[in-house]
Structure 1
């Protein structure tokens, strides 16, 4: 279900590989996905790409065979999904996702927990739960409210209408929209460039953006955090290399240290 490869440019490639069920996630798949992130972190990769095989990125939870009368919703969401999303969000390297087709439910949550998301023009993003008598989960409310406001968020939830990839990017949900046959290559190229960059500096920005999101830092608190980051980065090899390369008018060779 979940494939992991690590390429020579120190990029981990995590692939949801159950195309016949549109990469819907059952408990076993969630455990495998969590293990893939653990393995990639242990390998010390400098970037990570997440994508899905087949016609969809991820259609959400695999509810085939689930009895709604005895469904352990808490065990699935609190016990499996939320810990995974937190692990993904805190992954100690830049992360990228290539999304196409259905990106729904937990699948949308995987994208929310990824640093940079490139979506295909064929992507379908929204809240399909109206037809299930259930509600949007995996961080969807927070993302939609923050980027779309209350009215459009509730319109999407009440109607079940799905946004295209272009509409999602225009609304500020994700980074770029691309033709479906280009999104994977573009995402992998971006990850490879990041892996060759000053990844300690990237991680400083990643942590600060998380604080801006979660703590809603005021302007001067954010400036103070930036200043502290810059001071800490001064002692890294990449900081010294970047300055030396600029002064010597050559391309820097960053090592992530």
Structure 2
């Protein structure tokens, strides 16, 4: 159900099981991890993650799950979490185009992606109460960080879903767009990033990761910026950027060293 397409240095990873709302079982997680591995090995300079059909990803595929024997830990901790960490560490800018619902695992995929463009009518939230379950895939951390405790628990208790427009207004994602222009805009953003200094973008990803995951303070982050800038000063793209500025021309970046 997972497809990988690579064109002009840009990867497109597609969740292609619209008949089941792109829900992901354990084997699909493995397929998705493999697609990201192959994209990385191909040296792509940007990646787009999207879903076919009316829904981005409805979450875990539980259609065949028996709750009495289900290996929840195996799916979430041993299968999903390493995948999300792999996506977050992908060595190029990543973008998601989100239409319809992105719930549970679908929301987790977005948390791990650098830039998330959503349809104005997309749906986000925690419908897990209907299953006697709780929000997973990193959803608590995302919602608490952006919405605070009261609004997060209100969404969890009520099961209400936010629209894409509401989610962006609340600071959850990058941009809310009309459905008809969502994919075109996302692809254009990825194409633009693919022409940029990839190593500099990776440095920024790592700095943001430190701020988010390690809770680095201002001076620690500033020290990290200084070290990253010194390392980038040794790259071809850095020298090309300076030369282009001084010569008043558009730089041509290779995206590597």
* TM-score scaled by length of structure 1: 0.99
- Residues 70-219 of structure 1: matches in 2 within 5 Å? 70-219=69-218
Partners of 2:97 and 2:137 lie apart in 1 by 18
Note the C-alpha offset of 1:44.
Answer: 0.6
Aligned to 1:19: 18
Aligned to 1:61: 60
Coordinate RMSD, CA, aligned: 0.6
* 1:150-183 per-position Cα deviation (integer Å, ceiling 9, x unaligned): 0000000001100000010011000000011111
SS in 2 for 1:15: strand
Partners of 2:27 and 2:218 lie apart in 1 by 43
Aligned to 2:30: 31
SS in 1 for 2:116: strand
Partners of 2:27 and 2:173 lie apart in 1 by 28
Aligned to 1:2: 2
**Residues paired across the two proteins, number:** 256
Partners of 1:46 and 1:113 lie apart in 2 by 17
* 1:106-136 per-position Cα deviation (integer Å, ceiling 9, x unaligned): 0000000000000001110000101000000
For structure 2, the 5+ residue unaligned runs are none
Partners of 2:127 and 2:143 lie apart in 1 by 14
* TM-score scaled by length of structure 2: 0.99
Aligned to 2:222: 223
Note the C-alpha offset of 1:62.
Answer: 0.4
Question: Structure 1 segments of 4 or more deviating over 2 A?
Answer: none
Note the C-alpha offset of 1:65.
Answer: 1.5
Partners of 2:236 and 2:150 lie apart in 1 by 48
Partners of 1:28 and 1:182 lie apart in 2 by 32
Note the C-alpha offset of 1:238.
Answer: 0.5
For structure 1, the 5+ residue unaligned runs are none
Partners of 2:180 and 2:20 lie apart in 1 by 21
Partners of 2:160 and 2:207 lie apart in 1 by 33
